[in-house]
Each structure stands twice: as C-alpha cells, then as structure tokens.
Amino acid sequence: MSIRLRLTLWYSGLLAVTLLVFGVAVYMFINWNTYNDLKEQVRKDSESMRINAMMFFNTLDLNVEDRGILDKDVYIQLVNYEEGNVIRQSRNLKTINALIPFPEHTTNPDRAFVKYKLNIEGKDYSMIVYQRPIVINNQLVGLLQVGAIPYNEEKFMDGLRTTLIFASLAVVLIAFTVGLLIARQALRPIGQVISATRQIEKGSDLSVRIPANGPKDEIGQLVDTLNTMLARLEKAYNELDEAYKAQRRFVSDASHELRTPLTTIRGNIDLLEKMWSRAKESGASAAGEGLRLTADHWEMSSEAMSDIAAEAKRMSTLVGDLLALARADAGYVMEKQSLPLLPLTEEVARRAGLLPRSADWRIGDLSKLRDVHVYGNHDYLQQLLFIFIENAFKYTPNGYVELRAVRKDGHIGWIIEDTGIGMNPDEIPHIFDRFYRADESRGVTVGTGLGLSIAKWILDEHGGSVEVVTRENEGTTFTVWLPIDFSRRDDSTIMVEADHIEE
C-alpha cells in the first residue's frame, strides 16, 4: 500500500470518526430537546386536569374533569384499581380502539413518564405517557394516564438521522477523493525520487538527478539534499573507480613483469653457487686463469650469494602474494573438486615440520578429519593452512605451535594454536587488511602483511570463516572453518557421521 493511499485513508478515517461523534452528539441533543418539549406539554395537560375521587361505603367514585383537552392530540385514560379496569377513556383513544397498558396495583407510585407501544390499525406506534397516581388516605385507588403519540417528532428524527448518515458518507467520500488528489500532488516529488533511485539501482549511472520543480518545502529540501549527495557520490565513485583500475593494472602488470627476472636471478645464483663450489674444491680460480680465491673471498662471496638468494626469495614471495591478490581482485575463479581433508592436512603437517622455526611443532588430534571431504582447490587449501602455520611460527619465539582438528554441525575446522607474543584484541578486525602488521611498531618480525589477506580470500572462495582468540604475551588461536561436502556420500554414511558431530 502506497504512502499516498495510507495518508488518505488515515485522513478519511479520522474525518469519519469526527463526523460520527459530531452526528451522534447533534442527534442526541435534538432528540432530547424535541421529546422534552412534548413531554413538558403532556405533563402540563395532566397537571391541569382535576380528579374527583371519593369513597362511599367501600365504593369508589372516580372521575376526571378534562375540559378543553379532549380536542387536542392528547389521549386520556383513567384506571380504577379498586375494580381493576379502565373506567374512562378520551374520545380520540376510543376512536382508535386502543388501550394504554397500565402497571399493576402498587403502593404510592411516583409520577413518571413511560413509553408504551400501541398497535393502531395494524401498525405499531410509540406513545409517551405521563402517569399520575390517585391516592386516598395513603392508599392507591386509581391512575390517570395522559399520553401523546409523537408522529411529527419521530418523522423529524427519522429524517434527521437519514440526513446525517448520508451527509456524513458524502462528506467522507468527497474528502477521500479530494485528499487522494492532494496527496498525489504533494507526494509527486517522492515519486520522482523513487524513479531516479531505481535508474541508479539498475545501472551505474550516478549522473541521474531528481527534478526539483516544486516549492522549497520539506520535500523540496529533501530533493536538493539527495541531488547534492548524488553529485558527491558520483565524484567519489569516479575517482575510486579510476584509482581501483589503476591499482589493479599496476599490481597485475608488476607481478607478471617481476616474476621472469626474479626467476632468472634465482637460477643464475644457483648456477654460480655450484660453479664456485666446484672451483673451491678443485683449487682453481673463478675466472679460470690460474688466479686462486682466498678463503676470505670465498666466505664473502658465499655470504653475498646467501643474501642475494634470501632477498630474491623474499621478493619472489611478495610477487606471488601480489599476484594472488591481483587474481582475487580480478574475480579469479578457482577450480574446485571434492577433496579428502585428512591426507591434505597430514602432508601440510609433515612439510611444516621442516620450516625454519624456534618453537616446538605439535600435531594434535586429527581424527575428526577422517572420511571428511570438502569442495575446494587442493593447492589453495594447502597454501591457506601454510599461511596460518607460518604466521604462528613467525610470532612464537619460544613455546609451541599446535595443529588439531574440530568438527561442529556441518563444518570442519583446523585449530592453529601458538604460545607466542599474541596481539591486542582491538587489532583483530584489521589483521586481514592488506599490508597491515600488528607488530609493526614493535619490529619483532619481518613480513609484508599480505599472508592473512590471501588466506581471507581463499576462505571466502571456499565459503569458510575464521575465529580468532588472542591475548598479548600469551598467544593466539586461529580456528579455520570449512563447510563439509556431503555430495560424495550416501544417506547412511551421512547419518553415521552425524552421530559424531561435536556441539
């Protein structure tokens, strides 16, 4: 339901309730005033009548003098309670052949108005009756009833009720129609806002602007604010898009351009190292001209080659990381298949024991990985696990680094726990940012700060997640979660494995 229709319905509903309350109040006031005049007239007529009542030898002589009243639209009836019947009626009451109901014999009733229903010639009429008790010696002996049929009053009230109902309906209908038109005109700028935002949503054209032709009211100010915001968004988007494209081109081109010379450098260094080692063993000179290399020269050359090799290796790693991130930015799609996770993890655990480290390497319980498959890329999953293990070795100068497995619901997890330097928990949201290093100010370790960024990309590509628990100077625990691939298993196997899920 549109806001235009809701506003109109609220407005019409409020108007309808107001008219209902007003109409009921007017009707009740006019009804009371109209019938009150009639009641007052009937009461005066009743009080003006003289009643003659006498008891002779236990016989009641009851009569009423109604001179000057019989010609009016007033109906008179006299009831004798001693005989229990009506002893007199006015001529007009006799003419319509009607009997006014009267109450049973009670003691000293009060004078009051009563409304009775009379059937006159097959039609029901209401009669307002003023009842005046007749008392002799504190004993009720009779009752004078003076009534009037409110023909004109009821006709008037019926007409008034009909008029109020139809007039209220007409006013509400007119107000609804007019309100709908007014709301449509007033909310037209909002429709233009929606149209413009939909054009932006469907494409990337931020140059679309909302027409501002209306008055400078609240909606006009909203349109101006949105147009200003769109202009700033367009400018920022264009600048960011250009910068992002330039960054992607630079990273991709630099990675590809640097890989070839780095590979050549590393190959030549390995060749020189082999040649000089042979020359040292044979006692020949490096140039082959009989000039012998001293031990110091050999030591200096060896150190230089080691430094060059280390730097080349570090630059090669950096280039590989940049290439991986460039692929991630370019939307690289990994080739995936269903993989058994236990052999993959055991291979990584074996190779991790050969990495340079100062902490103990522990392989914990990996039984949760047995018969578990994940849908992913073998090489990238190995790289993912190596990143977390190498990161743990790097920040654990003493103590231990442990790898174990855990399973929960439909996910399998690697836990990499270390007792290293840890980090401030406030730094956790940033550790997966590119080039971010938690210990940069402390200078504890060397690195580029790209490893965890690559790990985060690999995890995202595999639909995984990571949990981090850390405390400064006490260590860090990474829990890497991957969704289990059940597609290779039959139903019975799934049921059996489900029994082993840890909560």
- The pLDDT assigned to 469 comes to 92
Which of 91-100, 228-237, 445-454, 484-493 is predicted least confidently?
Answer: 484-493
| pLDDT of 476 above 50 | yes
Domain boundary among 329, 360, 391: 329
Q: Which residue has the higher pLDDT, 343 or 84?
A: 343
Q: CATH number of the domain at 362, please.
A: 3.30.565.10
CA-closest candidate to residue 353, choices 340, 345, 366, 362 = 362
| pLDDT of 444 above 60 | no
Angle ∠(334,340,345) on CA atoms, nearest 5: 90
Residues 164 and 8: their CA atoms lie apart, in Å, by: 22
Residue 60: other Cβ atoms inside 10 A:
17
User: Do both 325 and 341 map to the same domain?
Assistant: no
The mean per-residue pLDDT over the stretch 344-348 comes to 93
- The pLDDT assigned to 367 comes to 92
Res. 299 pLDDT band, cuts 50 70 90: low
The mean per-residue pLDDT over the stretch 290-317 comes to 63
On whether the pTM is more than 0.75, the answer is no
Residue with tokens 């001529």: 91
Tally of structural domains, the chain: 3
User: Do both 315 and 427 map to the same domain?
Assistant: no
Q: What tens digit of pLDDT does each residue of 168-223 get? A: 888 888 888 887 777 777 777 777 777 777 776 666 566 767 666 666 667 677 77
Q: CATH number of the domain at 122, please.
A: 3.30.450
User: Do both 263 and 324 map to the same domain?
Assistant: yes
User: Do both 363 and 392 map to the same domain?
Assistant: yes
Domain that holds residue 294: 257-329
Domain boundary among 156, 184, 203: 156
User: Do both 323 and 345 map to the same domain?
Assistant: no
Residues 93 and 97: their CA atoms lie apart, in Å, by: 6
Q: What tens digit of pLDDT does each residue of 49-95 get? A: 877 766 666 666 677 776 555 545 788 888 888 777 788 777 777 77
Using an 8 Å Cβ cutoff, are 145 and 77 in contact?
yes
What are the beta bridge partners of residue 80? Answer: 85, 142
User: Do both 448 and 380 map to the same domain?
Assistant: yes
Domain boundary among 133, 156, 179: 156
CA contacts within 13 A on the Cβ side of 50: 4
Please give the single-letter amino acid code of residue 187: L
Res. 417 pLDDT band, cuts 50 70 90: very high
